[in-house]
Structure 1
Amino acid sequence: MVDSPAALSVEATAIPGLLVVRMPVHEDSRGWFKENWQREKMVAAGLPDFGPVQNNMSYNAHRGATRGIHTEPWDKLVSIAAGRVFAAWVDMREGPTFGATVHLELDPAVAVFVPRGVGNSYQALEDDTVYSYLVNAHWRPGIRYPALDLGDPTAAIPWPISLDEAEVSDKDRANPTLDAVEPVGPLKTLIIGATGQLGRALAAEFPQADLAGRRADEASGVLALDLTDDAALAAWPWSDYGLVVNAAAYTAVDDAETPDGRRSAWAANARGPATLAALSAEHGFTLVHYSSEYVFDGSRVHDESEPFSPLGVYGQSKAAGDLAVATANRHYLLRTSWVVGEGRNFVRTMLDLAGRKVSPSVVDDQVGRLTFAAELARATRHLVDTGASYGTYNVSNGGAATSWADVAGRIFELAGRSASDVTPISTADYMQGKQAAPRPATSVLDLTKLESTGFEPVEADVALVDYCRAALQISE
């Protein structure tokens, strides 16, 4: 008889991320039945939604068959289909718990979630034991990973059957001891579009990340990666990454209305994200992508549930990209507005005009909030680090909504000019005689969902003051 718990439960262990799953097993005279993997129930109980793609079974003919300690580069749920095993795990990840060990007996009522970087091993306690691995990456030839001597004195695993008497492969008997093992490093972060305003802010927020752009830049360490180049995509080591942040985008709103611009907008804003979503599904990395309030018609304050209603080609291409990204199981889609970072942008243009004694006309019937690239990068870090639920989040700086004319007036004040030197003008009058894409009148994003994760947006005016002061000091 199996000692089965009455209800499914998940328990933490001394190794971070290594979780013991106790599951009900239903028995009668014919045998037993269990739900070995039940995503909805197990995730609700506390198991990571790790996205398994392959199930392996290991048959052990004789009591004493011993396998491991192997540190394959994927997460796995290990369980018993028949018999019993003594199982042991050693943390092989770099960090303070390197070398920590956990061991316990597994029968059909007990499973264990093993995170990437933790060595896995077991010893059959009965003949005809069947051991199951449910993993979230496909096995492929040539994969290399650390292994550890089953008898390592530091791990000191108390094998019930002496290793001298156990059935162990020659390969496993030749594994190194812990002092000779190179710890497993964390999966890396990749920032795509690293040379843009947002990309530079993300690089500062994730200083250890790999950087990629359409063109290589040796001075800044940016590697070339073209998301439309199938050969380049196939050669890229996607399995090395746990997080891919896509800051690449076509943002020339007016040019997107032209034949060439339309093609470029759809390639960058729709095809690129769709490609990354497919790669996320294949390789299991978390995908972060950035969207725009231009996916809406600007008729109201926008929350995450609003259906798409884009006014122009740019918004249409961004909406298509949003739909593609949403197909990735592990994704954060950050919708933002009025982004300001390093390089050419509205704030720097106004500072330049103020310094040159120019008095511009600025539209006063488009309302929203500025989003400083550093704030958007900070929100990205927050969502990833806190493990917030995957999905769509509105992100901008906080505070009251303002018009572009209000922002320009405030910039002029900070530059030592009068706000009255900025002349308010309607969008219709400003665009008269120009080939321009339609703009949403309301770009205000509801930040309730983001704030519910514990993120507190910096007020837009506070960030604007800091940005202008820094820019003015540089120009001086």
Structure 2
Amino acid sequence: MTEYGKVLRANASPIPGLTVWELPVHGDNRGWFKENWQREKMVAAGLPDFAPVQNNVSFNDAVGTTRGIHAEPWDKFVSVATGRIFGAWVDLRAGATFGATFTAELDPSRAVFVPRGVGNAFQTLEPNTAYTYLVNDHWTPDAQYASVNLADETVAIDWPIPLERAELSAKDRAHPRLADVTPIPPRKTLVLGAGGQLGQALRDVYADVPHVEYANRSEFDLIATDLDSLRRWRDYDTIINAAAYTAVDAAETPQGRTAAWAANVTGIAALARLATRYGLTLVHISSDYVFDGTSEQPYLEDDPIAPLGVYGQTKAAGDQIVATVPRHYIVRTSWVIGDGKNFVRTMLSLAERGINPSVVDDQRGRLTFTSDLARAIRHLLDTAAAYGTYNVTGAGAVTTWADIARQVFTLAGYDPERVTGVTTHEYFTSAKGPIAPRPACSVLDLARIEAAGFSPSLADEILADYVHTEVNAAQHKSLRGI
């Protein structure tokens, strides 16, 4: 029976993400009224902001009409308009809860939110029953659907009206047993820029996750006019954009400026529109170059930005665009070292060849290894940390580039005194072509990422491991005569 005067609240179920909602129904001598779905109130009470695109109504005139068990690749919010139904749900998603079941009665004062991939079935308990359901995608033949037989012995639903006396369709009677059902996979994650240094690190950190896809620029061009057509985006949950224009000095040239704005702003705007339209989480990599480097303290995530050069300006513009996406992580980092050409490998090469380098000693910061950066990204996504901006660098003491060069020389067994410290101005005095201004302070405060449960590696320790690995690999190659 419909209950009046309930307080809006959600009740959890044994199936993750499936919640039963108690709805306030207001009645008098004329009948009753309820807010069937009220986005602001329900989201505040814990309902996912699932962005419905279609409202359907199902009418059943006879008691015992039974439909299901069907799982679709979308979320739905089901509420009874009149009558009463017995609901049964079976988790058909791949994972540890595959096959989990839950049942409950629904009436106008009780609704249910059914997440993507959970099979649902309804049996009417009163004549002239009608229920409505909001869904956040349209039916399409190329999506993956799943069904399980209403009489499956493993699921073992205790139907109020035995199925032999119920009204079923021939199709529902013929659905497969649970053992023969192909589970619905999780929504996918797409990593862009998969061939770069961070992209390679993300491949390593997600090596155990089969639903992560990777794309290089040749496979996924952010400047393409129609990103919508490149994927069936309702099957995706997250885009990690590890692609960017990072040639800091070349960005100061006319051609480089155009390329930097195209990749770091125009492309990001296209991704932001896509993520907003399909409710995707967008992970965006930011840079210390969005600051002017004049701070005496480590930069906080919400400190005012003031980029000095074109590269920093494009990264700052990209940050502002991504911040408009409802589900976003802006991961701000600095002094990145990954698998490929980088500062540490350059210093090792100079040391081995007997060259004594002059290295800048008036820029302060901390190294960030792509392995740590990739680990932080996965942590934010796996723990569903609050959306927003997070600084991620190595932890420990603040250093200069000259300090790091001396550490590299020492760790590799060379005399660190061979490294001469010079100012940024001195270093670039003889440079040919435009040189981008560098922030003198690139130190980022790590309190927020640490409060989210992530512990950045100590930069000195990971540098030592990195150098020893590089030296051992070089020695191995030498022994083999490579």
Q: TM-score category by the smaller chain?
A: over 0.9
**Could you tell me which of 200, 209, 214 is aligned with 1:211?**
214
Closer, same or farther: CA 433–213 of 1 in aligned 2, 3 Å: same
Of 258, 273, 277 in structure 2, the residue corresponding to residue 278 of structure 1 is 273
Within-5 A mapping of 1:293-308: 293-300=288-295, 301-308=298-305
**Cα separation, 1, equivalents of 2:125 and 2:163:** 13
SS class of match (2:260)? helix
Tell me if structure 2 keeps the 8 A contact 1:198–1:377. Answer: yes
Equivalent position of 1:50 in the other structure? 50
> What amino acid does structure 1 have at the position aligned with 2:466?
Y
What are the within-5 Å matches in structure 2 for residues 39-438 of structure 1? 39-140=39-140, 142-207=142-207, 208=210, 209-215=212-218, 224-230=219-225, 234-300=229-295, 301-434=298-431, 435-438=434-437
Q: Aligned with 2:408: secondary structure?
A: helix
Two-structure CA RMSD over aligned residues (Å):
2.1
- What one-letter code is carried by the residue in structure 1 that aligns with 2:457? V
The 1:332–1:79 alpha-carbon spacing in structure 2 relative to 1, beyond 3 Å, is same
Distance 1:395 1:269 in 2: 19
Aligned to 1:230, the other structure's residue is in SS state coil
Find the aligned partners of 1:62 and 1:266 in 2 and give their Cα distance. Answer: 63
Instruction: Tell me the TM-score normalized by structure 2.
Output: 0.91
CA deviation map 1:168-188 (0-9, x unaligned)? 333323322222211222222
Q: 1:462 deviation in Å?
A: 1.0
SS in 2 for 1:137: coil
Displacement of 1:233: 5.2
Tell me how far apart the structure 1 counterparts of residues 294 and 369 of structure 2 sit (CA, whole Å).
24
Instruction: Give yes or no for contact 1:136–1:284 (8 Å, CA) kept in 2.
Output: no
Gaps in structure 1 of 5+ consecutive residues: 216-223
Give, as a single letter, the amino acid of the residue that structure 2 aligns with 1:130: A
User: Would you say the 8 A contact 1:68–1:120 is kept in 2?
Assistant: yes
TM-score by length of 1: 0.92
Residue equivalent to 1:219:
none
> Is contact 2:227-2:270 (8 Å) kept?
no
Contact 2:4 2:27 in 1 (8 A): no
Q: Which whole-Å deviations, capped at 9, do the CAs of 1:403-426 have from their partners, x for residues lacking one?
A: 111111211111222332221111
- State whether residues 362 and 424 of structure 2, in contact with CA within 8 Å, keep that contact through their aligned partners in structure 1: yes
Residues 137 and 284, structure 1, Cα contact 8 Å, conserved in 2: no
Instruction: Select between 134-143 and 362-371 the one with higher mean Cα deviation.
Output: 134-143
Partner of 2:113: helix, strand, or coil?
strand
Give deviations 1:431-464, integer Å, cap 9, x for gaps.
Answer: 2253201111111111111111111111111111
Partner residue in 1 for 2:478: none
Rate the CA distance shift 1:94–1:143 in 2: closer, same or farther, 3 A: closer
Question: Which shows bigger deviation, 293-302 or 331-340?
Answer: 293-302
Q: How many residues align?
A: 468
CA deviation string 1:74-110 (max 9, x = no partner): 1222222332211110111223322221110012222
User: Contact 2:193/2:243 (CA < 8 Å) preserved in 1?
Assistant: yes
Contact 1:362 1:423 in 2 (8 A): yes
Give, in angstroms, the shift of residue 335 of structure 1.
0.9
Matched to 1:404, the amino acid is: W
% identity of equivalent residues: 58
Provide the secondary structure at the position in 2 that maps to 1:306: coil
CA shift, 1:248, in A, is 0.5
Structure 1 residues 5 and 450, CA gap change in structure 2 (3 angstroms): farther
Task: Work out the CA distance in 2 between the residues paired with 1:4 and 1:304.
Answer: 47
- Where does structure 2 lack aligned partners over 5 or more consecutive residues? 476-482
Secondary structure of 2:425's counterpart equals helix
1:13-28 correspondence runs (5 A): 13-28=13-28
Q: Which residue of 1 aligns with 2:440?
A: 441
